[in-house]
Amino acid sequence: MKTKKNKGETILSVIVILLAVIFFIPLYLAVINIFKTTDVIRSKPVSLPIPPTLDNIISVLTDPNVQIWKMYFNSLCITIFGAGICILVSAMAAYYLARRTDRGAKAMYVYFLFGLMVPYVIVYVPLVTMFSRLHIPLSLPTLIFVFVSGSISFSVFMFYAFIHTLPRDLEEAAIIDGAGQWTLFLRIVMPLIKPCTTTVAIFIGLSMWNDFLTPLLIGQIKTITVGIYTAIGPYASDWGSVFAYVMFATLPIAVTYVFAQKQFISGLTAGALKG
């Protein structure tokens, strides 16, 4: 019985590993072909790059029209400040709403949740119109606040649910010890909601880093996604540099993912399972 079961498990394992290998082919191609010239990619697309060449990477890095570092700077600013501001203001709001029982607070919570149902494509036209009427430039800081506004619903929703499960004992103890409400929030509540903050940070941080349409329409800010899109152009066939651009767009995320797979997977599915 036992050996039969083990044998079945081995066969299953072989099948899933095979599936995973097939599944991985596009990524394998994307990695090996970074190190080949476009001619070699055309003639030998699936073989290992021997001898490897760094031409693609160098040409991307030295192209004066491209400025990879500027793209990284824009994307990093958006991700760090966008996610940071969003987490701070949403945690504050969720704390305020979750610790009140009156109807006004309930109504305001529902008001915040409304954004979860909205397809974001609806706000671009009014947003751009509004900015031009108010003479607000379509710059990086503007874009950061647009990203913040787009993630507030989700963040408030997550923090609200989490704070509801927290006992109030610690807060009450701190109040007796004479802590003011801001100290209480920063020193007691923020550390307690850290697991939730990680989840929210991964979810909204990744969505900001990977977003394409928002920076494209709000001022054509060259984030890494808009940047590689405009650099490659819609009708590219210089595959060598395409793969180099793809590498620059994915490397930071892929490396982070390798070191924090568990947090990424649970962070990205938590929202779905709670929703």
Rounded Cα distance between 51 and 60, Å, is 20
Q: Measured from the CB of residue 173, what is the shortest distance to other proteins in angstroms?
A: 12
Rounded Cα distance between 194 and 178, Å, is 24
By CB neighbour count within 10 A (0-12 exposed, 13-18 middle, 19+ buried), where does 84 fall? Answer: middle
DSSP 3-state assignment of 105? Answer: helix
Q: Measured from the CB of residue 109, what is the shortest distance to other proteins in angstroms?
A: 10
Q: Measured from the CB of residue 57, what is the shortest distance to other proteins in angstroms?
A: 15
Q: Measured from the CB of residue 35, what is the shortest distance to other proteins in angstroms?
A: 14
Amino acid at 157: F
Q: How many residues does the chain have?
A: 275
Nearer to other proteins (CB atom), residue 61 or residue 96: 96
DSSP 8-state class, residue 65: T
What six digits make up the tokens of 106? Answer: 């309930």
Rounded Cα distance between 11 and 5, Å, is 10
DSSP 3-state assignment of 15? Answer: helix
Q: Measured from the CB of residue 268, what is the shortest distance to other proteins in angstroms?
A: 7
Q: Measured from the CB of residue 257, what is the shortest distance to other proteins in angstroms?
A: 5
Q: Which residue in 64, 81, 60, 62 sits closest to 251, CA to CA?
A: 60
Q: Which residue in 44, 153, 9, 265 sits closest to 1, CA to CA?
A: 9
Question: Which sign does the torsion angle of CA 81, 134, 131, 89 carry?
Answer: positive
Q: Measured from the CB of residue 26, what is the shortest distance to other proteins in angstroms?
A: 5
For 114, list phi and psi in degrees, rounded to 5. -50, -40
